Amino acid sequence: MGQLMKKIERVLSTRFARIFGDTFTIVFFILIIIVPILYIFTFVGTEWSSIYQNLFDHPITGNEQWLDLGAALLRSFEIAGIVTIIDVIIGLPMALILARYNFRGKKYIDSLIDLPLAVPTAALGFSIYLFWGTQFGIGGLLGLGSGIFSEGPLLIILVHIVFTYPYIVRNLKEVIMRVDRTYEHAAQSLGAPTFTVFRTITGPLMKEGLVAGAILAFTRSLGETGATMIVFGVTETATIQIVAWRSLGLFGPAAFLTMILVLTALGLLILLKLITRRVGLPIHRVFVKAERMLSNPILRKMRNSIIALIFLVVVILPALWTFVFVGLNGGAVFDQVFLANDHKLSAFWLSFISSLSIAGMVTLICIVLGIPMALIMVRRKWGRLKAFLDTLIDIPLVIPSAALGFSVFVFWGTLGPFGPNGVFSPGFWLIVLVHVVFCYPYMVRVLIPIVSSLDPGYEEAARTLGAPSFTVFRTCTWPLLKRGVLAGSIITFTRSLGETGATLVVMGLVRTVPVLIVDWVESQSLAAAGFASILIIIFSYALIFFLRKITLESEVVK
Amino acid sequence: MPHIVLKNVSKAYERVQAIDHVNLEIFDGEYLTMLGPSGCGKTTTLRAIAGLLQPDAGEILFDGKNIIDFPPNERDIGMVFQHFEIFPYMDVWDNVTYPARVRGKSERKIEELGVNSLNLVGMLHRANDYPEELSAPELQKVGIARAIATESKLLLLDEPLGALDLKIRVDFQHELRKLVKKLNLTAIHVTHDQIEAMNISDRIAIMRKGRIYQVDSPMNLYYAPNSIFVCNFLSNSNFLEGVVDHQEMNSSVVRLRGFGPKITIPTGQWPRRTRVALGLRRNEIYFGYDHSPTKNTLSATILKKHFLGSKTLFQLRLDNDDIIEAEVLTKEIPEEIKDSETPVYISFDVEDVLAFEYPNNLDYELALE
- The amino acid at B343: P
Contact B87 A201 (CB under 8 A): yes
My answer on whether A338 and A309 are in the same domain is no
Question: What is the radius of gyration, based on Cα positions, of chain A?
Answer: 25
Show residues of chain B in contact with A185, CB under 8 Å. 50, 52, 72, 81, 85
Q: Specify the 3-state DSSP secondary structure of B276.
A: strand
Chain A residue with Cα closest to B74: A191
The residues pairing with B214 across neighbouring beta strands, listed in sequence order, are B206
A56 lies in some domain? no
* Residues A410-463 pLDDT 10s: 998 888 788 777 778 888 999 999 999 999 998 898 888 888 877 777 777 777
Show residues of chain B in contact with A188, CB under 8 Å. 51-52, 71-73
My answer on whether A339 and A317 are in the same domain is no
Q: What angle do CA A211, A214, A217 make, to 5 degrees?
A: 150
My answer on whether A363 and A390 are in the same domain is yes
* Residues B322-354 pLDDT 10s: 999 999 999 888 887 777 777 899 999 999 999
Contact B73 A200 (CB under 8 A): no
Within 108-147 of B, beta carbons closer than 8 Å to A belong to 146-147
A55 lies in some domain? no
> What is the C-alpha to C-alpha distance for residues B201 and B189, in angstroms, rounded to an integer?
8
> What is the C-alpha to C-alpha distance for residues B242 and B217, in angstroms, rounded to an integer?
30
CA distance B218 to chain A (A): 29
Whether the predicted pLDDT of B25 surpasses 90:
yes
pLDDT classification of A556: cutoffs 50, 70, 90: very low
Q: How confident is the model over A55-69, as a mean pLDDT?
A: 80
My answer on whether A132 and A181 are in the same domain is yes
Cβ–Cβ contact A468 with B under 8 A? no
Number of domains, chain A: 2
CATH code where residue A290 lies: 1.10.3720.10
What's the confidence (pLDDT) of residue B160? 94
Show residues of chain B in contact with A192, CB under 8 Å. 73, 98-99, 102
Last residue of a domain, one of A302, A328, A354: A328
* Polymer length in residues for chain B: 369
Contact A187 B89 (CB under 8 A): no
Contact B89 A194 (CB under 8 A): no
Which one of A189, A196, A283 would you mutate to disrupt binding with B, by most B Cβ within 10 Å of its Cβ?
Answer: A189
The residues pairing with B301 across neighbouring beta strands, listed in sequence order, are B317, B343
What's the confidence (pLDDT) of residue A276? 63
Q: Which of A180, A182, A286 faces B102 most closely, judged by CB atoms?
A: A286
Whether the predicted pLDDT of B69 surpasses 70:
yes
A290 lies in some domain? yes
Q: Which of B52, B88, B146 faces A190 most closely, judged by CB atoms?
A: B146
* Residues B86-111 pLDDT 10s: 988 889 999 999 999 888 889 999 99
> What is the C-alpha to C-alpha distance for residues A435 and A408, in angstroms, rounded to an integer?
10
The residues pairing with B326 across neighbouring beta strands, listed in sequence order, are B314
Last residue of a domain, one of A288, A306, A328: A328
> What is the C-alpha to C-alpha distance for residues A269 and A273, in angstroms, rounded to an integer?
6
Higher-scoring residue by pLDDT: B57, A134: B57
Which residues have CB under 8 Å from A36's CB, separation 6+? Answer: A407, A408, A410, A411, A412, A437
My answer on whether A312 and A349 are in the same domain is no
Chain B residue with Cα closest to A277: B89
Cβ–Cβ contact A278 with B under 8 A? no
My answer on whether A116 and A252 are in the same domain is yes
β-pairing, B211-216 with B237-247?
unpaired
* Residues B196-223 pLDDT 10s: 999 999 999 999 999 999 999 999 999 9
> What is the C-alpha to C-alpha distance for residues A188 and A283, in angstroms, rounded to an integer?
15
My answer on whether A302 and A321 are in the same domain is yes
Count CB neighbours of B138 within 10 A: 19
My answer on whether A36 and A137 are in the same domain is no
Whether the predicted pLDDT of A480 surpasses 90:
no
Chain B residue with Cα closest to A182: B85
> What is the C-alpha to C-alpha distance for residues A357 and A463, in angstroms, rounded to an integer?
39
CATH tag for B236-366 (out of 1.10.1240.10, 3.40.190.10, 1.10.287.610, 2.40.50.100) = 2.40.50.100
What is the domain range of residue A451?
1-46+329-558
Last residue of a domain, one of A328, A347, A373: A328
Show residues of chain B in contact with A205, CB under 8 Å. 88-89
Show residues of chain B in contact with A282, CB under 8 Å. none
CA distance B213 to chain A (A): 28
Q: Report the CATH number of the B4-230 domain.
A: 3.40.50.300
Contact A185 B87 (CB under 8 A): no
For chain B, the structural domain boundaries read 4-230, 236-366
* Residues A291-347 pLDDT 10s: 887 888 888 888 888 988 999 899 989 998 999 888 888 888 888 877 777 788 888
Show residues of chain A in contact with B85, CB under 8 Å. 180, 182-183, 185-186
What's the confidence (pLDDT) of residue A281? 64
Show residues of chain B in contact with A193, CB under 8 Å. 71, 73, 102
Q: Mean pLDDT for chain A?
A: 85
Q: How confident is the model over B160-176, as a mean pLDDT?
A: 91
* Residues A428-439 pLDDT 10s: 999 999 999 999
For residue A30, the 8-state DSSP code is I
What's the confidence (pLDDT) of residue B322? 92
Whether the predicted pLDDT of A554 surpasses 60:
no
* Polymer length in residues for chain A: 558
> What is the C-alpha to C-alpha distance for residues A9 and A3, in angstroms, rounded to an integer?
10
Residues B65-96 as b/e (b if ≥16 CB within 10 A, e otherwise) read eebeeeebbebbbbbbbbbbbbbebbbbbbbb
Show residues of chain B in contact with A182, CB under 8 Å. 81, 83, 85
Cβ–Cβ contact A204 with B under 8 A? yes
pLDDT classification of A2: cutoffs 50, 70, 90: low
Cβ–Cβ contact B103 with A under 8 A? yes
> What is the C-alpha to C-alpha distance for residues B168 and B165, in angstroms, rounded to an integer?
6
* Residues A161-175 pLDDT 10s: 998 998 888 888 888
What's the confidence (pLDDT) of residue B28? 95
Q: How many Cβ contacts (< 8 angstroms) between chains A and B?
A: 77
User: Backbone phi, then psi, for B346, in 5-degree steps?
Assistant: -120, 150
Quick one: chain B helix, strand, coil %, rounded to 5? 30, 35, 35
Higher-scoring residue by pLDDT: B189, A273: B189
My answer on whether A42 and A86 are in the same domain is no
* Residues A253-297 pLDDT 10s: 888 889 998 998 888 878 777 766 666 666 677 777 888 878 888
My answer on whether A487 and A347 are in the same domain is yes
Chain B residue with Cα closest to A180: B85
Q: Which of B251, B210, B216 is nearest to B230 (CA)?
A: B216
Show residues of chain A in contact with B83, CB under 8 Å. 182
Q: Which of A195, A190, A185, A191 is nearest to A293 (CA)?
A: A195
Show residues of chain A in contact with B146, CB under 8 Å. 190
Q: Specify the 3-state DSSP secondary structure of B328.
A: strand
Show residues of chain A in contact with B188, CB under 8 Å. none
Q: Which of A417, A469, A443 is nearest to A365 (CA)?
A: A443
My answer on whether A337 and A307 are in the same domain is no
CA distance from start to end of chain A: 30
My answer on whether A40 and A113 are in the same domain is no
CA distance from start to end of chain B: 36
For residue A426, the 8-state DSSP code is S
Cβ–Cβ contact B90 with A under 8 A? yes
pLDDT classification of A151: cutoffs 50, 70, 90: confident
What's the confidence (pLDDT) of residue A558? 36
Q: Which of A82, A216, A71, A230 is nearest to A150 (CA)?
A: A230
Pure H helices in A311-427 = 317-328, 330-334, 344-379, 384-398, 401-412
